[in-house]
Amino acid sequence: MNFVTLNNGLKMPQLGFGVWQVPDAEATTAVAKALEVGYTSIDTAMIYKNEVGVGKAIKESSVPREELFITTKVWNADQGYENTLRAFDESLERLGLDYVDLYLIHWPTPKYDNYVDTYKALEKLYHDGRVKAIGVCNFEIEHLERLINECEVVPVLNQIECHPYLAQTELKEFCAKHNIFVEAWSPLDQGGEALKDEVIKKIAAAHDKTPAQVILRWHLQNNTIAIPKSVTPSRIEENFNVFDFELTTDEVAEIDQLNRNRRNGSHPNDMHMR
């Protein structure tokens, strides 16, 4: 496993396991398999409705809690200072944990303009020692600038949609300038076109690896944290086996050039779902 050091000194695995769209009943089995394979970073969220299943897998695992890195998120409808503190307590209860390693704002939802107050609640949780690090998801440069200007604690990371067809170059450069890591959700383009791209297939054949493994390796070599999701045991293993090869500088550049600025999810400025 590769580890990154966040801006508050906390170490985080660079490859994690995501459980978006995994039903609660399946989450326990999927997370248990991920932990067995070697993942120690698990990414969930209140809105995924699988915190209970994730918590059960953690409780039943032989991996000590202090070796795990657990992330969850506050949903849009729970934003605001007091609401966020309550939502955090509820997430902890569902997970069956005393703390989480990373707590994130799920979307900025700028239409409602609650994200600064929400982040101040995250700061309180951080100062109280109930979370080890705080950050955001789906924040654009303008949203990050407000947090940096109006709050005390710089987010440790920004979790955004990122894959070879959505390289997020400008946002990545801004985050790097402010020592904010980028974490990629849907790092494999949700199993879409990028996995069938001829450039990626060619590079995969050269390394005797799968297209998914090549894309994950590209993320790692671009200093991005990645959280691939799968409920298929063989794929959970496959996605983890990316530390025994390295892409050349030219191969990384070839994949960089595939960018189409194409999203699968909503643009953050258009996401107003409560």
Annotated active-site residue in 48, 103, 115, 126:
48
Decide if 48 is catalytic: yes
Which DSSP string corresponds to 4-40?
EE-TTS-EEESB-EE-TT--HHHHHHHHHHHHHHT--
Q: 137 - beta bridge partners?
A: 159
Nearest to residue 201, comparing CAs of 219, 216, 214?
Answer: 214
Q: Are 156 and 123 in contact (CB under 8 A)?
A: no
Q: How many CB atoms lie within 10 A of CB 267?
A: 10
Say which residues have a Cβ less than 8 Å from residue 149's Cβ, sequence separation at least 6: none
CA 241 to chain centre: 18
Which residues are the active-site residues?
A: 48
